[in-house]
Structure 1
Amino acid sequence: MPVVRDLRVLLQLRDFRHLLAVRLLSQSADGVYQVALATYVVFSPEKETSATAIASAMAVLLLPYSLLGPFAGVLLDRWRRRQVLLYGNLLRSGLAVGTAVLVLAQVPDALFYVSALSVTAVNRFVLAGLSAALPRVVDSPERLVMANSLSPTAGTLAATLGGMVAFIVRLSGPGGSSSDALVVLLGAALYLAAGLATLVMPLNLLGPDPAVLLPRLRTALLSTAHGLVAGVRHLLKRRDPTLALTSMTLMRFCYGALTVMVLMLCRYEWAGNEADGLALLGLAVGVSGAGFFAAALITPWAVGRLSAIGSHSRADGQLSWIMVCAAAAALLEPGLGLPFEPAPMLVAAFVLGLTTQGAKIATDTVVQSSIDDDFRGRIFSLYDVLFNVAFVGAAGVAAVMLPPDGVSSLLVVCVALLYAATATLVLFHVKQDQGRTRQRDVSRET
């Protein structure tokens, strides 16, 4: 109910409504396009899909975010952000149409990946532009906090909905490359709609202010690089956020490896035909999303309970929740995964969605509360890099370990051991922190 009330307040602001509409259209297109790429790479009947191909597709989808993300803001401070949103979405629409043509033409994979990489690279500027423009469409700091909380969440829901629509279109289409191209064209249409939606906003509404004096581009880019190095040094001096980011990176790695395995199982082991495999994959995505939603509901309560046990600090409560999530995954993942049957694996998808997102919420909070404000943006840029590179790295490792049908007991066991190692690492840190706190309390009393 508070979320609905806050959203109702924000929707009274005309400019916020317009910017939110652009975000929803743009990110729903992202969801459609990502599913289109995944189904083309994994489920095209004329292609013999391998784990290596899946890893390549994940690299195309995620690495542009990591490599361009920290530097996107430098350019967004120089270009009119409304024009970035307009031309960025129009460019992605055109590139997506080109991707559809390549799918129909059945060109070599390398050319297809170049086209897909171009679309996702532009995406980094659009998402950063949407975030940078938010302060220009709200009228108070309090509403900005609400907007920063609700807008990305609404965008994520739009991307999820777009992905589900893409699955439906793919399953109900004519089949083969024609269905893949149809889904890509749906994404292109949504990108076009997102671009045209920006035209209702005045040219200079979203900034930046042309009167602000900015350093030269080369100086700004070098300053960003030096700032990231300074941010890493700042992070390493603080134990709690360093541990939280390390743990989240390891858990993201585990989630990525299992994602590739499930894709291969849906393609070859569980389904007698393409449609059944796609339906199973869509169900797995939905169940994992339900786990993400459950984590948002459970995590605040769980952290509060863990903080209260033994009078732990709030930070120790957050870290303890990360430990519980990693330990739960370590215990449940082998039992649910080793049968290699759809029903228990779907339960595992829910559990891993809950534990991964629960740990991420706690990690976000630890970083936000433990890092100085001057460094917070840089640390979250680093966080974004670690989050995506871990997923792509996991896909690469899975590509080496997985057999053609996706059934690998070794991978399941190794992931469980990595989850257990993560839980042990956090437990050791929390116990050390509590010991230091007790020593300080004894010293004060004496």
Structure 2
Amino acid sequence: MGSVLADLRALLALQGFRRLFTVRLVSQSGDGMFQVGLATLFFFSATSQGTAEEVAIAFAVLLAPFTIVGPFAGVFLDRWRRRQVLLWGNLTRVALTAVIAVVMLTSGVGPWIYVLALLTLSVNRFLLAALSAAQPRVVDGPLLLTANSLAPTLGAVAAGAGGLIGFVLGLGFEPGRVKDSAALVCAAVAFAVAAGLATRMDKDLLGPDRIVRGAELRGEFARTAQGLADGARYLWARRTPGQALTVMATHRFVYGVTFIASILISRNVLADPADTQAGLAAFGSVLAASGLGFAFAVLLTPTLSPRTGPHLWIAIMLCLAAGSQVLLAATLTWTTMLIGAVLLGLAAQGAKIAVDTIVQRDTDDAFRGRAFALYDVLYNAAFVGAAALAALALPDSGYSPGVFAGLAVVYVVAAVVYGRFAARTPADVGPVDRGRPARPPA
């Protein structure tokens, strides 16, 4: 614990990290507000029925386009100034979110809401990829592991806090269009603040070293597919990043089924199905428990994973996730639901921290943007696959002991297979170009 706090103090002494971290916190708090607004609308409103098929379709519609946006994001993150991406991306979200709020107030839910939501969430994933690709430019060496623990985890906490603010705001309004748009207006304000905070960083601080403009940039569209293929071949040739991304996609697939089941259980089992407000509150409790697991991950991963190594740590987290599924398969109560959420949150975030570190550490800076774009593609494609499985395998109540037992088996198999592959991989895969070193403490 003491070493973690010491590392945190060292990180916060880095001006570049501190400013990038602030942009992340504010931006992701706006994400939380936005997502609560969508969750209320799609899953916990009086007009949604909350069946397994409807929830799965909603997730598929929201996430499937990210597999198309992701490859383009990687190419541009390796050629555009990442600081400018954070600035203009957040300003774009301000405009889109404001339009969604106006449409909801004037016309209610319609096809345009889905289109605008898809665009906004696509920009969000682009920004998160930019934040991850930029982090090694402001942190280097052993502190990178702590940065990967602190930044994404506290970003998730900030998103949870923003979601809580959006939920509390909704309680002050009667059900209707004003309530649905309240969280979106607050999200637009947060995105605007994040854009302003991005301007405190130098344009070139976050890289990349080579900037492409004008006609040359337009020509990149024709080379996107080739660039993505080159990135995938590079990551697999490096072995450790490719293996880490594969196991994370597997983890995300199983996690996605559990997440969809949690929505259905919260609405149809833990609360009266006719009381959508109680269902939303129940799901909020489950998310809070998962957030507690994230907090444990930020404390335990930097302390314990250096002793085990990131590969063994990932295998341990997969086994812990299997335990959470066994618990739910045995019995479903409020206690087992919350404990399972804590364990799964710890496992998901602990594994993600280690995967982020492996990908950042073992990927050349020229490919790092594409690496995290591929990360996003696999991340969201796995959740789309999970939505399809959930629609077929889960009952409308969301609870199936057989499904949870099957998910536990998948986790155990993934842990064993990844552990064996990682054990055969040389510890040193060769040097990489990490980009400009981080600035020393002020």
* Residue 339 (structure 2) aligned to one of 333, 340, 347: 347
Q: Deviations over 1:209-257 (max 9, x none)?
A: 9997777124323444323212322333455444333222111111110
1:170 aligns with 2:170: yes
**Equivalent residues of 1:43, 1:274 under 8 A apart:** yes
Quote how far apart the aligned CAs of 1:59 are: 3.9
Matched residue count: 420
Contact 2:75 2:369 in 1 (8 A): no
Q: Name the one with the larger helix percent.
A: 1
Structure 1 unaligned spans of 5+: 308-313, 438-446
1:83-98 pair list within 5 angstroms: 85-98=86-99
Q: Residue 265 of structure 1 aligns to which amino acid in structure 2?
A: I
Q: 1:134, 1:300 → 2: CA distance?
A: 17
Which structure would you say has the larger Rg?
Answer: 1
One-letter amino acid of the structure 2 residue matched with residue 171 of structure 1: L
**2:101 touches 2:185 (CA, 8 Å); kept in 1?**
yes
Contact kept, 8 Å, 1:60 with 1:116, in 2: the verdict is no
Instruction: State, as a whole percentage, how many aligned pairs show the same letter.
Output: 42
Q: Which of 309, 325, 328 is matched with 2:317 structurally? A: 325
Q: Looking at both structures, which has the greater relative contact order when contacts are Cα pairs under 8 Å and sequence separation is at least 6? A: 2
- What is the alpha-carbon distance in structure 1 between the residues aligned to residue 247 and residue 203 of structure 2? 43
**Structure-1 separation of matches of 2:11 and 2:235:** 34
Residue number in structure 1 paired with 2:259: 259
Contact 2:74 / 2:369 at 8 angstroms: preserved in 1? Answer: no
Deviation, 1:37, is: 0.7
Q: Provide Cα deviations, 1:160-210, integer angstroms capped at 9, x if missing partner.
A: 221221222233432344322211222123233444556778999988999
- Residue 151 of structure 1: how far off its partner (Å): 5.3
1:104-154 deviations in Å (ceiling 9; x for gaps): 456455332112112223334544566677799x7x978996997565555
d(CA) in 1 for partners of 2:216, 2:411: 46
1: CA distance, partners of 2:146 / 2:214: 27
The aligned runs of 1:257-296 (5 Å cut-off) are 257-272=257-272, 273-296=275-298
Give the superposition deviation at 1:291: 0.9
CA contact (8 A) 1:64 1:120 kept: no
| Structure 2 residue matching 1:43: 3-state secondary structure | coil
Alignment equivalent of 2:414, drawn from 400, 413, 422: 422
Q: TM-score, normalised by structure 2?
A: 0.79
Does 2:3 align with 1:2? no
How far is the alpha carbon of 1:395 from its aligned partner? Answer: 1.8
Structure 2 counterpart of 1:303, one-letter code: S
**Structure 2 SS opposite 1:188:** helix
* Deviation, structure 1 residue 418: 1.2
SS in 2 for 1:216: helix
- What are structure 2's unaligned runs of at least 5 residues? 428-442
Deviation at 1:4, TM superposition (A): 4.2
CA distance in structure 2 between the aligned counterparts of 1:331 and 1:145, rounded to whole angstroms: 29
2:27 alignment partner, SS class: helix
Alpha-carbon distance change, 3 to 161 in structure 1, aligned in 2, over 3 angstroms: farther
> CA 1:412–1:92 in 2, change beyond 3 Å: closer, same or farther?
same
Q: 1:396 aligns with which of 385, 388, 404?
A: 388
Q: What one-letter code is carried by the residue in structure 1 that aligns with 2:10?
A: D
Evaluate the alpha carbon distance shift between residue 250 and residue 373 of structure 1 in structure 2; reply closer, same or farther with a 3 A threshold. same
TM-score by length of 1: 0.78
